[in-house]
Amino acid sequence: MHLRVTRVARGRTTLDEAISTFEAASAPVRQAPGFAGAALLADREARILLVGSYWETREAMDASAARIPAAVAEWGVDLVDLQPYEVLHLERTQPLSSGTFVRIVTATMPADRIADAERDLLERLLPRARALEGFRSVVLGADRQSGRLLCASTWDSVAARAASDAEFTPDRDRLGETVGASSVSVENYEIAFASVGVAASATT
């Protein structure tokens, strides 16, 4: 399983218009072979949108990229960047749905430390997340070529997300020490649209 995160800015349209027209504008990409689902994430304050799309194979994801420029132009937004990931772990206690809230943590680390970060998440951090009120899902993805790691967790409410952030901030602050991570960033989003058909759990 593979994940592509497409970051866009609202361009010539309003954020609400971009959200309302996403389903139609993204149809050509979502109809590509190997598509396994998508979620639209909105940061209303920063007026930024992310599209997380799941793909059955890396080849299918790469082939679908040719459809993105036309879809973005039709959508009326500005393409900022694309980031591919291999999905290392995907777990959901409930389906993705609009009106829930996501925290995305990204970090860059030596490629040979990605396995250490994955093991730490699965063995130490994820059990704690499952025990927290409002936990819905987590996906861990890696770009081994660049050493970039993504961990996205979904929560029932802003309050649940904030409580979990307080729980895990000390662990994030030690990423440099534990796995040699640098350039750690944290972003918060609301799910504005979700249509994800991949299984509740997936690992590679």
Q: Residue 139 is part of which domain span?
A: 2-197
pLDDT score at 170: 83
**Which of 150, 137, 54 has its CA nearest to residue 90?**
137
Residue 104 belongs to some domain of the structure: yes
Question: What is the spatial distance between Cα 145 and Cα 112, in angstroms, rounded to a whole number?
Answer: 10
Structural domain includes residue 203: no
Exposed e or buried b per residue across 19-44, where buried means at least 16 C-beta atoms within 10 angstroms of its C-beta: beebeebbeebbebebbbbbbbbbee
Query: Would you say residue 202 lies in a domain?
Result: no
For the ranges 30-34, 75-79, 179-183, the lowest mean pLDDT is seen at 179-183
Taking the mean position of all CA atoms in its chain, how far away is CA 174?
Answer: 22
Residue 203 has what pLDDT?
46
Q: Are 38 and 26 in contact (CB under 8 A)?
A: yes
Look at residue 188 and give its three-state secondary structure: strand
Banded pLDDT at 198 (limits 50, 70, 90)? low
Q: Is residue 204 part of a domain?
A: no
Structural domains of the chain, count: 1
**Whole-number Cα distances in Å, 121 to 22, 172, 200:** 32, 11, 18
Residue 66, domain CATH = 3.30.70.100
pLDDT 10s digits, 125-165: 899 999 999 999 999 999 999 999 999 999 999 999 999 99
